Structure formats: structure tokens, C-alpha cells
Amino acid sequence: MKFNKEKYAQLAKQRSKRSPVLKNCAMAFLFGGGICAVGELIYYVFHDLLQFTEKDSSLYVCVILIGIAAALTGIGVFDNIAKHAGAGTLLPITGFANAVVSPAIDTRAEGYVLGVGAKIFTVAGPVLLYGTLSGVAYGLIYWITTLFNK
């Protein structure tokens, strides 16, 4: 049987499994909302119960969520959650923690320097680089525009 592009596309369309888009969106919404609810609960504990400042409470929420996501990645649970939650685990803090810890775990057999140290930021590195560069660019534009407004 000879294939051309049209026959191949038709065969691939017949054989490919359709994604349950509605289910995936619902799961992402529920898991993402659950992570945010946990963050709000942590914030409530620090701000309202322990009387920390708003700034300090927000900082502790970030640190604790990063720690939880990194620990769950380290013991192999985060990936299982992500299989069901989909994009719901990609909230900036938990997804970033997973993106930093995963390459470190995958390369630990190569040693701490050439494995973990060299590969830890392979996924998160571009985010850090371009996030920092865009922050500097924004800061320069803001600074230049304030010079002319004086």
C-alpha cells in the first residue's frame, strides 16, 4: 500500500485518540484551584492566626508551596498528580519547583557537580534568563520614561 500525505493524514486521524478536553479542563481547574486554596489556607494561618505581616505571610506561602512541590517531585508523587491534574499543576510556583527539581533527580547518577549542578536549570534556566532580561528591559524603559516626566 502506497501512502501519500493525504492518505497518511486520514489514517492518522482515524487512529488517533481524541483528548477529553472538557474533562482535562475540569481537572486542571479543580487541581489548580486546590493548590491555590492550600496557598490561601497557609496565608490565613500566618497572617490571621500567627499575626505575621501581609508581606511575610505571602513569602511563607511561596516558600512552603515550593518546598511541597519539590518534595513531592523528589519522592515521585508530583508526576502522578500531574498525570491527572494536567495544567492545574503548572501554577507558576509549583510548576517551577518541579521544573528545577526534575532534571536534578534525573542526573544525580552523574554526580553532584557534572550531573545535578550542571543540569539543574536546564528547564528553568530559560525562564530565569528571559524573565530577568525582560525585567531589566522594563526597568530601563520605566526609568527612561520617568526622566522625561520630571
Give the integer Cα–Cα distance in Å for 37 and 65: 11
Q: What confidence tens digit (pLDDT) does each residue in 7-45 have?
A: 888 887 778 878 888 998 999 999 999 999 999 999 999
Q: Position of cell 520614561? A: 145
Largest CA distance in the chain: 75
**Does pLDDT of 150 surpass 70?**
no
Give the integer Cα–Cα distance in Å for 38 and 42: 6
Give the integer Cα–Cα distance in Å for 123 and 127: 8
3-state secondary structure of 1: coil
For residue 95, the number of C-alpha atoms closer than 13 Å in the C-beta half-sphere is 15
Q: Which pLDDT value is given to residue 149?
A: 76
**Does pLDDT of 106 surpass 80?**
no
Name the residue among 31, 30, 28 with its Cα closest to residue 19.
28
- Rounded (10°) CA dihedral 100, 102, 108, 110: -90
Question: For residues 103 and 54, which has the higher predicted lDDT (pLDDT)?
Answer: 54
Q: Position of cell 501519500? A: 4
Q: Position of cell 521544573? A: 99
Give the integer Cα–Cα distance in Å for 34 and 98: 17
